[in-house]
Amino acid sequence: MTQALASVRPADLTLDVLDRTARGLAAATLGFGAFSLYAMAVSFALVAAMDPILPDKVGFWLAPLKFGLMIGEALPAGPELLGSNIVPVGAALAIACWLLARPLGRAAALLLNRPAR
C-alpha cells in the first residue's frame, strides 16, 4: 500500500485497494465457513454426549414433513432411525467437521496476513 500511495499512477492504488478488498471478502467467506463447521462439530459432539444421558430425548427421527437431528421435549411421532448408533455417528461427524474447519480457518488467516504486492 505504501508503494501504491507513493506511485504516480492511480491504477496502482486502485489495483491495491481491489486486491485487499478481494482478499478480505475471501477471508470473510472462509472464516464464516470455518465458524459454521466448528459450530456443527460442537452440535454433533453435544448430540453424541447427550444420547447416553437422555436417550429418549436425543435422536435422529423421520416424521411427516420433518427429518432431522433433534434434542428436546417435542419429539416427532415418526420412528427414530439411528438408536444408540447415533453416538459413534455423532462423534465421527464432529471430528470430521472439526478437521475440515481447521484448514479453512488457516486459509482465511493466511489470506489476511499475506503481504501486499
Cell of 117: 504486492
Q: Cβ distance 90 to 41 under 8 Å?
A: no
pLDDT tens-digit series, residues 5-15: 566 677 777 88
What type of residue is 113?
A: N
**pTM higher than 0.85 for the full model?**
no
| Backbone region of residue 83 per phi and psi (left: phi > 0; alpha: psi in -120 to 50; beta: other values) | left
Cα 30 from Cα 97, distance rounded (Å)? 14
Phi, psi of 61 (to 5 degrees): -105, 150
pLDDT tens-digit series, residues 27-44: 999 999 999 999 999 999
